[in-house]
Amino acid sequence: MGNGTELGRVRGLGSANEGSHHWWHQRLTAGANLFLMLWLILSIARLPNYDYATLHDWMASAWAAIPMILLIASVFYHFRLGLQVAIEDYVHGAARVAAMFALTFFTITAAAIAIFSILRIAFTAGVVA
């Protein structure tokens, strides 16, 4: 037997056994964000200049583009996990479904735009228009 009443089990009320999975993913992405943000800060601090051309050339390198894409993916996934908890706790009914849809749409769209921008810089480096 488990915790809760039989009626609660029939209705699907109670633990969905997803809490530890969600908690673990938040901790993993928090660690990845910490490591990758430290990389970003140190990499930018080591640049000789902070003008557009220097930053563009730096981002065109695979040594910068790949960790930056990983940072974008990790930050947006962590962002979604955190807001998902807030929505599940404070939004109810049909509004919850709409809020979760909007959150997922925004997260995927914003991350895709950021990753596309990084890839465009990386793949078009050295191309004269």
The torsion defined by the Cα of 105, 24, 31 and 86, in degrees rounded to 10, comes to 50
Q: What percent of the chain stands above pLDDT 90?
A: 78
Confidence of residue 125 (pLDDT cuts 50, 70, 90): confident
As a whole number, mean pLDDT of residues 68-96 equals 96
| pTM for this model (two decimals) | 0.82
Query: What is the model's pLDDT at position 20?
Result: 85
Based on its alpha-carbon atoms, the radius of gyration of the chain, rounded to whole angstroms, reads 21
Residue 11 pLDDT class (50, 70, 90 cuts): low
pLDDT at 129: 57
3-state SS record for 89-104: HHCCCHHHHHHHHHHH
pLDDT band for position 126 (cuts 50, 70, 90): confident
Q: How far is CA 97 from CA 15, 29, 30, 105, 110, in A?
A: 19, 24, 26, 12, 20
Query: What is the per-residue pLDDT for 21?
Result: 87
* Token pair for 51: 């003008």
Q: Residue 34 belongs to what H/E stretch?
A: helix 19-45
**Taking all residues of the chain, what is their mean pLDDT, rounded to a whole number?**
90
75-88 b/e (C-beta count within 10 Å ≥ 16 → b): bbbbbbbebbeebe
User: Phi, psi (5° rounding) for residue 102?
Assistant: -65, -40
